Chain A
Amino acid sequence: SQQGEEDPQALSIQEGENATMNCSYKTSINNLQWYRQNSGRGLVHLILIRSNEREKHSGRLRVTLDTSKKSSSLLITASRAADTASYFCATGRDTGRRALTFGSGTRLQVQP
């Protein structure tokens, strides 16, 4: 079963606009990660935020984490057509089982 739920399931914006995706999860975590997947390809790691962090930036990406609400958000600023992809949040636990539990993803379409 999948741990996280992304919201919205699909998002369509114009180039230059900001895109915000949300992720909710159910159990306690050690870290939360965001991945991008272009159509028919493998996943690419974007950013990792640990449970003791509240906000993290990487280039045009900003991730927040609220462990009290078991939720995270990914903000992509000044979006580009090349940002068109599916975005997944994934949660990790601090156990020997390092496999990630993925959400169902948000499909982002950036119109040129």
Chain B
Amino acid sequence: EAEVAQSPRYKITEKSQAVAFWCDPISGHATLYWYRQILGQGPELLVQFQDESVVDDSQLPKDRFSAERLKGVDSTLKIQPAELGDSAMYLCASSPQTQETQYFGPGTRLLVL
């Protein structure tokens, strides 16, 4: 069964450093999401892509976060510079064009020291 791939699974970095996360959605899924999940809470949307276009990045802290999906397939989420409060799980999900169900990757757990 096809799965959403994410890497790395774990990342430890020092504050003020740059970090990048990668996501490869299920083949053929036009919509890609990045969520942030703080321990003990539900995921919160950071950015949504439809193919290579950003549909919603209203909750993305644009002074330090950036996301791209250049060819409408895989995506990269970057944080520069990282802050202590960025420690969280970063989840990528994808869905087919016309379905509401989302398929999640295993996540990247970020720890900022």
- Residues 37-48 of chain B, each 1 if its beta carbon lies under 8 Å from chain A, else 0: 000111111001
Q: List 21 A-B contacts (CB under 8 A).
A: A2-B42, A2-B44, A33-B100, A35-B104, A42-B91, A42-B106, A45-B101, A48-B100, A88-B42, A88-B43, A92-B100, A96-B55, A97-B48, A98-B95, A99-B56, A100-B45, A101-B45, A102-B35, A102-B42, A104-B41, A104-B42
- Residues 48-59 of chain A, each 1 if its beta carbon lies under 8 Å from chain B, else 0: 100000000000
| B106 / chain A contacts, CB cutoff of 8 Å | 41-42
- Say whether A42 contacts B42, CB under 8 Å: no
Q: By the criterion of a CB under 8 Å from any partner CB, how many residues of chain A are at the interface?
A: 26
Number of A-B contacts defined by CB within 8 Å? 64
- Say whether A44 contacts B104, CB under 8 Å: yes
A82 CB within 8 Å of chain B: no
A43 CB within 8 Å of chain B: yes
Minimum CB–CB distance for B34 against chain A, Å: 10
Minimum CB–CB distance for B109 against chain A, Å: 7
Q: By the criterion of a CB under 8 Å from any partner CB, how many residues of chain B are at the interface?
A: 28
- Say whether B100 contacts A102, CB under 8 Å: no
Question: Shortest 6 CB-CB distances between A and B: which pairs?
Answer: A102-B42, A42-B104, A43-B104, A99-B45, A42-B106, A99-B48
| B65 / chain A contacts, CB cutoff of 8 Å | none
A50–B95 Cα distance when bound, in Å, is 17
| A40 / chain B contacts, CB cutoff of 8 Å | 89, 107, 109
Within B45-96, which residues are at the interface with A (CB < 8 Å)?
A: 45, 48, 50, 55-56, 89, 91, 93, 95
- Say whether B42 contacts A31, CB under 8 Å: no
A105–B40 Cα distance when bound, in Å, is 8
A104–B45 Cα distance when bound, in Å, is 13
